[in-house]
Structure 1
């Protein structure tokens, strides 16, 4: 009986500890967005996060990105979203992606400044065009745009709030190639979409635009 009671006490304490480890945020989760300039096809292998508690979360986002509708032009925030559930505010982001128009594989570490985390928990009263009403909104979206040459930018924004640029970065080439060298050099798909291929054949890759 004593052993049973001890086990129950340990379980109860463990439950309390687990509950206290949940991030204290004014919303259930924040989001990661991924995107790229139009026609500059990208496949994201992984987005990993270290939050401000020092906890690491792997593969919280990836796959096909969203593309802007400008040609040429920079993708300027938002994009294909994924919630970072039960993850506290980001301290560091790690991104691995395939730039399929080159093709090349890149890896990047993004250190998130404190002002970004401050911005993510600052309530702002704003008229939201989507709902046609006044709302309290937060900049709870951290988005990453990736372009050929390993150039990346990051923004923080909200559903009804504008995006603020966090920074512009130069990624490193991952000499192991796609998927850390586990696919014998094979990229996510071997051929570009016809529209992308036609644009690049006519205009080339506009490296200077980002």
Structure 2
């Protein structure tokens, strides 16, 4: 059977619609985002090292993504004690992390971490409010100095700072857009200790020599975070 020109054009149009709808940011679970995945990253103030036992993400469909991130966070430990751990950077970077594929936008992040500087183990539930999720899917024109070009950017990166005393603070950002603070929570002590009590109180490791030297000389600025 030979198709007429109008029928052929209709079939081609339907095929294009299906192709676009299947590729325009729809992930494996059907979540419609303007990108393939969002990123979860962590950092700590200078010298205040942390070890992340687990960071789990729960999306807006109540799906739980276990161990979306774990291990060491991003940190700077300048030699000669020239770093400054007090407070948070005005425009924090992405932190060390991973992309969370197959998830819709995040509703909250659960993180359990070892503050090696103290040492102490904490956990926190970090809510990602609706206003933050709106920012994550809002495209903005931005100029990237690194490439010298203009383009549309999305704040699809969630950066979380972890500080001694159990403080956790979250921002959404993008490589060429300023970070926006979206949450700050006070974590709680894990009474079982590191590794949920399975390590007989032993932490992942001691702080590196530069970090320990700073702590020995200046202490931990708990009141700055």
Q: Is this a same-fold pair by TM over 0.5?
A: yes
What is aligned with 2:61?
Answer: 53
Unmatched 5+ stretches in structure 1: 1-18
C-alpha separation between the residues in 1 aligned to 2:138 and 2:107?
A: 17
What is aligned with 1:122?
Answer: 138
What is aligned with 1:73?
Answer: 86
The structure 1 segments of at least 4 consecutive aligned residues displaced by more than 6 Å after TM superposition are none
C-alpha separation between the residues in 1 aligned to 2:43 and 2:70?
A: 11
What does 1:32-181 align with in structure 2 at a 5 Å threshold?
Answer: 32-68=40-76, 70-76=83-89, 77=92, 78-181=94-197
CA RMSD of aligned residues (A): 1.8
C-alpha separation between the residues in 2 aligned to 1:48 and 1:72?
A: 26
For residue 220 of structure 2, the aligned residue among 187, 199, 205 is: 205
What is aligned with 1:21?
Answer: 29
- Asked whether the equivalents of residues 42 and 65 of structure 1 are also in contact (C-alpha less than 8 Å), the reply is yes
What is aligned with 2:4?
Answer: none
Unmatched 5+ stretches in structure 2: 1-26
The two structures have a TM-score, normalised by structure 1, of 0.87
The two structures have a TM-score, normalised by structure 2, of 0.81
C-alpha separation between the residues in 1 aligned to 2:147 and 2:72?
A: 28
